[in-house]
Amino acid sequence: MTKTRTYQTRQKSQSGDLPNWNLNDLYCRPKSPKLKADIAWARSESKKFRKAFEGRLKGLDGNGLARAISRYEKITERLDRVMSYGHLLHATHISDAEISAFFQTLQEKVTDISTEILFFTLELNRLGETVLKKQLKSPKAARYAPWIRDCRVFRRHQLSDEVEKLLHEKSLTSHNAWIRLFGETMADLRFRIEGGKKPKQMTLADTLNLLSDKKAQVRKRGAKALSRGLAKNIRVLSLITNTLAKDKEIEDQWRRYPHPASYRNLSNQVEDEFV
């Protein structure tokens, strides 16, 4: 009989137990039948959705647009649920090779599925104001007006469908991969704390916690340990940081963002000059 592995999300540190996440409200385990079913449903629905609406948004009336958005919403909500589980499980088992492999596979599946529905927001952003205004006269469509507004704020920075698809599919091997490498690298670091009867090897979280200690000497030991530990890994950490910065710079240039923070400011509906 095969023993089922259980996954505890409570983590211990030298500062005591960390917060506990109960992920059972999402899925009970990585091989959960419900998780498998949700992925299969999303894959099937995304293909049906693309077949039903790709290239046809301009010709829909308001009620038709509302139905399309409602179906899109259901698919993305299911995918968000799947990825929320994957991210949270990985965050609490970041050094676990089995969980990392599961998370990678999950990301690949969700990226493949979401590629099928990528056309929707791209096409929505290309709708003319006159057409959209007419569609939004429908009460059913009007309830989605704030979401449509938030999508269309990026339309001036939207690239061709082919380039958008390329960037979407390559995200796993570009910035997302480097971000994951950074997280896993930092999780594996251990910092040597001097000053006691016996030096201690502490995680990043525990070392950072020392910087808030009420005793100045403890804070000093923590700061020195942190500095030494990061210095030993400066090559890989610098490579990650510089690669991510260049990756963002290239995409920002293609999308014609005037400032490195412009994308974030648009998301927050704030002008660059006020940040």
Residue 123 pLDDT > 90: yes
pLDDT band at 5 (very low <50, low <70, confident <90, very high): low
Task: Kindly state the average pLDDT of the residues 126-154.
Answer: 97
| 162 in Cβ contact with 93 (< 8 Å) | no
CATH number, domain 19-156: 1.20.140.70
Instruction: Identify which of 116, 148, 146, 134 has the alpha carbon closest to the alpha carbon of residue 58.
Output: 134
Q: For residue 136, which phi and psi values (nearest 5 degrees)?
A: -75, 0
List, by residue range, all CATH 1.20.140.70 domains of the chain: 19-156
Task: Kindly state the average pLDDT of the residues 216-228.
Answer: 95
pLDDT, residue 9, reads 54
Q: What is the DSSP letter of 26?
A: T
Lowest mean pLDDT of 8-12, 57-61, 92-96, 254-258, name the range: 8-12
Start-end of H helices in the chain: 33-53, 62-92, 97-116, 118-126, 129-135, 139-142, 145-152, 161-170, 175-188, 204-210, 216-232, 234-255, 262-267
Residue 4 pLDDT > 70: no
Q: The whole model's pTM is what?
A: 0.87
pLDDT tens-digit profile of 186-209? 999 999 998 777 889 999 999 999
Q: What angle do CA 238, 86, 94 make, to 5 degrees?
A: 45
Average pLDDT, the chain: 92
Distances (CA, A) of 177 to 81, 106, 172, 184: 21, 14, 6, 11
pLDDT, residue 2, reads 45
Lowest mean pLDDT of 158-172, 186-200, 239-253, name the range: 186-200
CA–CA gap between residue 201 and residue 192 (Å, rounded): 5
pLDDT band at 7 (very low <50, low <70, confident <90, very high): low
Task: Kindly state the average pLDDT of the residues 169-184.
Answer: 93
pLDDT tens-digit profile of 19-40? 678 899 999 999 999 999 999 9
**Alpha-carbon radius of gyration of the chain:** 23
pLDDT tens-digit profile of 44-55? 999 999 999 999
pLDDT, residue 1, reads 43
Task: Compute, in degrees rounded to 10, the torsion defined by CA atoms 229, 235, 237, 238.
Answer: 130
Query: Residue 269, CB half-sphere, CA atoms under 13 Å: how many?
Result: 6
